[in-house]
Amino acid sequence: MKLVAGNSNPKLAEQVSDYLEKPLTKTSVRRFADQEIFVEILENVRGEDVFVLQSTSYPANDNLMELLIITDALRRSSAKRITAVLPYFGYARQDRRSQGRTPISAKLVANLITNAGVDRVLTLDLHAGQIQGFFDIPTDNLFAAPVFVRDIKERYVTDNVVIVSPDVGGVVRARALAKRIDAPLAIVDKRRERPGESEVMNIIGSVDGRDCILVDDIVDSGGTLCNAADALLAQGAKSVTAYATHGVLTGGAIARITASKLKEMVFTNSIQPTEDFENSPKLRWISIAPLIGEAISRTAAEQSVSSLFI
């Protein structure tokens, strides 16, 4: 087995390498003057089972192109099997035609990855489950829920916790987490007036005097969760904390979260935390390296990955 890391999240790659006790394969990824990407694999990978760790996060297009070129280099170097490990799968929010004359970019990206020569995909908390079907190759969608459950149990008295979905679309995700800690479920009913803005309308469920934990997969502007926190506290919630898998955090998201009424917002390191993230008193990350590492180990050994979440 060989581990190859792109440049999107080198810290996570190092943590996965440490977990597996496997060194990262030496590679050279550099750019020409016009920003064309050049990749050279500096070790023999002929006949090897290769795992490429690369999130397609910001800058999304550069990181995606880097993944495709690394894959092509490995395929032409006679790697036996190439597995793309995508802790964060970019373009996942473009999973359907929201209006006329628009693309389904998630499907296009899935085609690009497949045609580049990837044999299998490992990813984490896809924005929509049907994206698995966009790939014509085996695709394992891992879940951050076990990592969140462990952290919640360490920090809260679960008898007083209520899990909250920030919108109707996230109910399945929130219900699964609530079931794991035997907690009740509440739902924030919101209406989005225009892209990037949200308005909280109503709270479904009892939150009075409870520690509320909002659960989401992707946080971009942070407006939805900050508005949800205001609504929950107005309904008598004792505290509001948010857990989300992918911290995209564009624009003024970090400043918005820091100034909000949220007690804390917790992310995985599927996207490498920035310096501003690290300096915010309300932002914290927990590592998914053991989860990713174990999934890689089981895939290489042809063992069950789904049993990680039973």
119 annotated ligand-binding residue: no
Question: Do residues 98 and 195 make contact, with C-beta atoms less than 8 angstroms apart?
Answer: no
Question: Do residues 4 and 13 make contact, with C-beta atoms less than 8 angstroms apart?
Answer: no
35 annotated ligand-binding residue: yes
Q: Which residues pair with 189 in a beta bridge?
A: 202
**Residue 197, burial from CB neighbour count under 10 angstroms (0-12, 13-18, 19+):** exposed
169 annotated ligand-binding residue: no
Q: Is the peptide bond before 59 cis (omega within 30 degrees of 0)?
A: yes
127 annotated ligand-binding residue: yes
Distance CA 64, CA 107 (A): 14
220 annotated ligand-binding residue: yes
223 annotated ligand-binding residue: yes
End-to-end Cα spacing for the chain: 26
241 annotated ligand-binding residue: no
Angle between helices 289-300 and 10-20 (to 10 degrees): 60
Indicate which residues carry an active-site annotation: 190
Look up residue 186 and give its two tokens. 């509440």
151 annotated ligand-binding residue: no
36 annotated ligand-binding residue: yes
- DSSP character for 87? S
Distance CA 115, CA 137 (A): 10
- DSSP character for 24? B
Report angle CA 7, 13, 17 to the nearest 5 degrees.
145
Question: Do residues 16 and 55 make contact, with C-beta atoms less than 8 angstroms apart?
Answer: no
93 annotated ligand-binding residue: yes
Distance CA 94, CA 107 (A): 9
Mapped onto helix, strand or coil, the DSSP state of residue 181 is: helix
Binding site, annotated residues for D-ribose 5-phosphate: 192, 216, 220-224
Binding site, annotated residues for ATP: 34-36, 93-94
Binding site, annotated residues for Mg(2+): 127, 167
Binding site, annotated residues: 34-36, 93-94, 127, 167, 192, 216, 220-224
